Amino acid sequence: MIDRIYCHIVWITRHRDALIDAGLARFLCGFFRGIASQEGARVLEIGMVRTHVHLLVHIRPTTDVSRLMQRLKGGSAAIAGKERRAPEGKPLKWAKGYSIHSVSFRDVAAVRTYLRTQPVRHPDDVITGWEGDRPEYEAAGTDEWRSEGRKRL
């Protein structure tokens, strides 16, 4: 059985405050990928401006999405504060909740484009000095999770 489960996830900073600078954005990209990997998911693309984050995530059928989100949001705010990753005097705080939408395999490329164009869509919230994310691409034949114990056809 082949599992291709993709999600587009979005959340904002508390009060839509412009809290994300270039240093914090670089930290968040690495942090999000590390947490996702621990939770049985893979972050394929990140779109970010100073007020919000978009992720394209490939998850397994066994991924606990609510736990993943708690660790992405709560964990990033906690670690950014402890490690002083946020701009001076502006601790990272996320608003409650998030938006999550399933993405069909056919629409993955379109969602990637949408995430990459966030700075164009929100020119007043561009992160100065941040070059953007280094997206992850899955090698041919590895773009899907295969159920345990089943042979590849």
Question: Domain extents for the chain?
Answer: 2-128
pLDDT at 143: 52
Residue 140 has pLDDT above 70, yes or no: no
DSSP 18-79: ----HHHHHHHHHHHHHHHHHTTEEEEEEEEETTEEEEEEEE-TT--HHHHHHIIIIIHHHH
Report pTM.
Answer: 0.86
Q: Is the pLDDT of residue 88 over 70?
A: yes
Q: Average of pLDDT values for 39-57? A: 97
**Residue 152 confidence (pLDDT):** 45
Question: Do the Cβ atoms of 67 and 5 come closer than 8 Å?
Answer: no
Per-residue model confidence (pLDDT) at position 150: 45
Reply yes or no on whether the pLDDT at 139 is more than 60.
no
Tell me what pLDDT residue 34 has. 96
Structure tokens at 97: 């909740």
Q: Which fold has domain 2-128?
A: Alpha-Beta Plaits (3.30.70)
